[in-house]
Amino acid sequence: MCGLAGILSTRGFAEPASLEALGRMAAALRHRGPDELGLYRNPRLGLVHTRLSIVDVTAGQQPLCTEDGRLWIAFNGEIFNFVELREELLALGHRFRTRSDTEVAVHAYEAWGEEAFGRFNGQFAMAIWDERASRLVLARDRLGVRPLHLAEVSGRLFFASEVKAIFAGDPGIRRALDPMGLEETFTFWTVVAPQSMFQGVHELPPGHWRRYEPDGRVVERQFWRPSFPGEGEGRFEGSLDAAAERVVSALERAVRLRVTRSDVPVGSYLSGGLDSSLVAALGRKVAGGRFATFSIRFADRDYDETEYQREMASRLESEHHELLVSGRDIARVFPDVVRHAERPLLRTAPAPLFLLSGLAASHGTKVVLTGEGADEIFAGYDLFREAKVRRFWARDPRSRLRPLLLDRLYPYLARSPVAQRALAREFFGADLAGAGRPGFSHGPRWRSAAALQRLFSPELRRRTGRGEAVERLLASLPPELSGWPSLAQDQYLEIRTLLSGYLLSSQGDRMLMAHSVEGRFPFLDRELVDLACSLPSRHKLLGLDEKHVLKRAARGLVPDRIRARPKQPYRAPNALAFTGPNAADWVAELLRPAAVAEASVFDPGAVERLWAKCRAAAPESRLSNADDMALVGVLSTQLLHHELVRRPPEREPAGPFQTVVDRLAR
């Protein structure tokens, strides 16, 4: 895993990008690739790459070119099927100087053009420069595992793995939070690409490529999106047992690719749940010898899963490492977490994962497997069960018995949203008439998060708060979605919103790469995702039993106590981490009315009342879910303003990379 950045002149052959600017961009990304720096520059393009050496450690330096010097590539990620693609390309007459997947990627583009991106089974963001045609192509993997941000300023395109590198490339670029980005975040918990959190900055959406022609034309295409076949259109028609066999076989291949396609040892995160336990079990089988596992423990028992983690680690006989996390630890690192996430957070869950990647790095582990993605592709979330109950209830809205099925949800929450039945009926019973419309499943979550916009300043409320974020999202849905089963529609929305923008970014890539650790996600393997999408809904959500087919597939690999335990999503202490006598000094400082007014996002009076309420409720943990989420959202947004908007642009040289930049300049 690496970092890439570049500057392209979009208006003819202007002055080339300076080495100083490219060095600053590299410095901003050195946590993503501390091992090496590479640079390519011509009169129109400057391209920089910071490398975390994983595959072909000795010879895979980037930017890398084809043997004739025509095509150059800077690549962040992994192409796991590069060995098979290499054989195809050799048969076509291509010749290779390295064993790297990067060289395979650029030759694949040479052979197949933009069609190559659909052939890749991997997680990637890449920039390919055609020297002869003076053309730049940017591409991002199917599910958005790896980030790629863009900004056009004064006739130049700045692009980078992280926004902070774009800001470093030109200190004159205006830094400002985007009202639409704030509205999306305080609705969906994240921005949805191409929207970003900063004015003038966009994300290349997952599964897209974009081409910049020398005459200024820009062409963009989507090469993949999730698809859920109907009857007779590639849908899996076998039995449940046959589906379980196919699933475990596909997952075994996915894990094998992610363990063996590495020249450094691969470890695994272990949460104590089904998904990470299954991945770790298969990873242990492939790795054979030393196999490291890493787990988060919580001082607060409401969040702790230590007993299940230790049981699985003992079964694996892994080299197991644990990290005990308290609320004070979360508050201590939260500024760093937000700076790396580059967006507001409505939950503190990324903070323990930031600490966990630090633990992995401290033990010399550069690559870890995780169970991320299983809940999206196999329908593991309570949201999917909740939507099924609500649709059943909608067939008879006056029924008193049907909504009682909600009692089976959220057993792991001390303050369950279904505990008070009258309130639960009002909350979950809203909009039952819309049960047949897209977005019905996510309506309660979106309305709950959007209610936090009451804290926005009057000016921001005038510019947002009209439900346009939801309208934009629903208007962008593929036309064939209406013909999919209800569960498939729900899964598509979850993949489109929370998976890429939050789970794979704020909790995934950014927290891993903060400590130069690469995450690999077997459940997001191309073959496995396509298989999961083809399965009938009943195989994934049988009655109210989530991930049913995956539980069957895990038989014999995961202890029954873990395999059959009720779903407990990964969570961490939220507002309580920032209140009480041991609260970090920066919390009160950023919530001062003057600091809130300066950021111009929230109403100072509303924030002051929220902060007083949270402090009063802290001793007895009496905060509502809404206030809990609100405080984290306000604090993270204030931190984002302080860290990436208010602070002056970095004017430091490339630091440890400066000698390399100087050498390349000579």
Q: Tell me: the pLDDT tens digits for 209-226?
A: 999 999 889 999 999 999
Give the Cα separation of 16 and 36 in Å (integer): 23
pLDDT band at 411 (very low <50, low <70, confident <90, very high): low
DSSP assignment of 14-70 equals -SPPPHHHHHHHHHHTTTT-BSEEEEEE-SSEEEEEEE---SSTTT--SSEE-TTS-
Q: Is the dihedral of CA 281, 276, 33, 119 positive or negative?
A: positive
Contact 649, 163 (CB under 8 A): no
Rg over CA atoms, the chain: 24
Percent helix, strand, coil in the chain (nearest 5)?
Answer: 50, 15, 35
Residue 661 in this model has a pLDDT that exceeds 70:
no
pLDDT band at 413 (very low <50, low <70, confident <90, very high): low
Give the Cα separation of 10 and 390 in Å (integer): 51
Give the Cα separation of 54 and 366 in Å (integer): 8
pLDDT band at 10 (very low <50, low <70, confident <90, very high): confident
Give the Cα separation of 472 and 340 in Å (integer): 27
Q: In which order are the strands placed within the sheet that holds 292-298?
A: 319-325, 292-298, 266-269, 367-369, 518-520
User: What pLDDT is attached to residue 432?
Assistant: 81
Buried residues in 236-260 as b, exposed as e (16+ CB within 10 A): beeeeeebbebbbebbbbbbbbbbe
The pair of structure tokens assigned to 618 is 């802290």
Q: Tell me: the pLDDT tens digits for 93-138?
A: 999 999 999 999 999 999 999 999 999 999 999 999 999 999 999 9
Question: What is the overall mean pLDDT for the chain?
Answer: 91
3-state secondary structure of 375: helix
Give the Cα separation of 85 and 95 in Å (integer): 13
Percent of the residues in the chain that have a pLDDT greater than 70, as a whole number: 92
Give 422: exposed, middle or buried? Use CB within 10 Å, 0-12, 13-18, 19+: exposed
Give the Cα separation of 282 and 251 in Å (integer): 8
Taking Cα atoms as reference points, which of 478, 234, 257, 475 lies closest to residue 369? 257
Up-side HSE of residue 421: CA atoms within 13 Å toward CB?
9
Q: What is the pTM of this model?
A: 0.94
Q: Tell me: the pLDDT tens digits for 302-328?
A: 888 999 999 999 999 999 999 999 999
Residue type, 48: V
Strand 319-325 relative to strand 292-298: parallel, antiparallel, unpaired? parallel
User: What pLDDT is attached to residue 344?
Assistant: 97
3-state secondary structure of 524: helix
- Sequence-ordered list of residues with C-beta below 8 angstroms from that of 383, at least 6 positions apart, any chain: 441, 442, 445, 490, 494
- Give φ, ψ of 80 to 5 degrees: -75, -20
User: What pLDDT is attached to residue 437?
Assistant: 92
Classify residue 62 as left (phi > 0), alpha (psi -120 to 50) or beta.
Answer: beta
Give Cα separations from 432 to 211, 403, 423 (angstroms): 44, 12, 15
Give the Cα separation of 68 and 70 in Å (integer): 6
Residue 648 in this model has a pLDDT that exceeds 80:
no
What CA dihedral angle connects 401, 406, 411 and 416, to 10 degrees?
A: -110
Q: Tell me: the pLDDT tens digits for 28-40?
A: 999 999 999 999 9
Residue 652 in this model has a pLDDT that exceeds 60:
no
Give the Cα separation of 38 and 600 in Å (integer): 40
Instruction: Give the per-residue SS3 of 71-136.
Output: EEEEEEEEECCHHHHHHHHHHCCCCCCCCCHHHHHHHHHHHHHHHHHHHCCEEEEEEEEECCCCEE
Q: Tell me: the pLDDT tens digits for 503-558?
A: 999 999 999 999 999 999 999 999 999 999 999 999 999 999 999 999 999 999 99
User: What pLDDT is attached to residue 464?
Assistant: 87
Helices and strands (H and E) in the chain: how many: 28, 17
User: What pLDDT is attached to residue 417?
Assistant: 63
Taking Cα atoms as reference points, which of 65, 107, 110 lies closest to residue 82? 107
Q: Which residues, listed in sequence order, are joined to residue 152 by a DSSP beta bridge? A: 157
pLDDT band at 412 (very low <50, low <70, confident <90, very high): low
Q: In which order are the strands placed within the sheet that holds 208-212?
A: 64-65, 71-79, 122-130, 135-140, 208-212, 218-222
Taking Cα atoms as reference points, which of 654, 500, 508, 650 lies closest to residue 50? 654
| Greater pLDDT, 111 or 416 | 111
3-state secondary structure of 159: strand
Residue 664 in this model has a pLDDT that exceeds 50:
no
3-state secondary structure of 245: helix
Taking residues 616-630, report their average pLDDT.
80
Q: Tell me: the pLDDT tens digits for 567-596?
A: 778 889 999 899 877 678 899 999 999 999
Least confident of 43-47, 230-234, 512-516: 230-234
Residue 655 in this model has a pLDDT that exceeds 70:
no
Q: Tell me: the pLDDT tens digits for 147-191?
A: 999 999 988 999 999 999 999 999 888 899 999 999 999 999 999
Q: Tell me: the pLDDT tens digits for 519-534?
A: 999 999 999 999 999 9
User: What pLDDT is attached to residue 430?
Assistant: 77
Taking residues 278-282, report their average pLDDT.
97
pLDDT band at 651 (very low <50, low <70, confident <90, very high): very low
User: What pLDDT is attached to residue 657?
Assistant: 54
Distance from the Cα of residue 482 to its chain's centroid: 26
Alpha helices for 400-536 (secondary structure H): 421-428, 443-450, 458-463, 468-475, 486-494, 510-513, 526-534
| Greater pLDDT, 70 or 16 | 70
User: What pLDDT is attached to residue 471?
Assistant: 94
User: What pLDDT is attached to residue 666?
Assistant: 47
pLDDT band at 204 (very low <50, low <70, confident <90, very high): very high
- Give φ, ψ of 201 to 5 degrees: -110, 140
Give the Cα separation of 653 and 630 in Å (integer): 38
Residue 458 in this model has a pLDDT that exceeds 60:
yes
Residue 356 in this model has a pLDDT that exceeds 80:
yes
User: What pLDDT is attached to residue 560?
Assistant: 94
The packing angle between helices 179-188 and 468-475, to 10°, is 80
- Sequence-ordered list of residues with C-beta below 8 angstroms from that of 95, at least 6 positions apart, any chain: 67
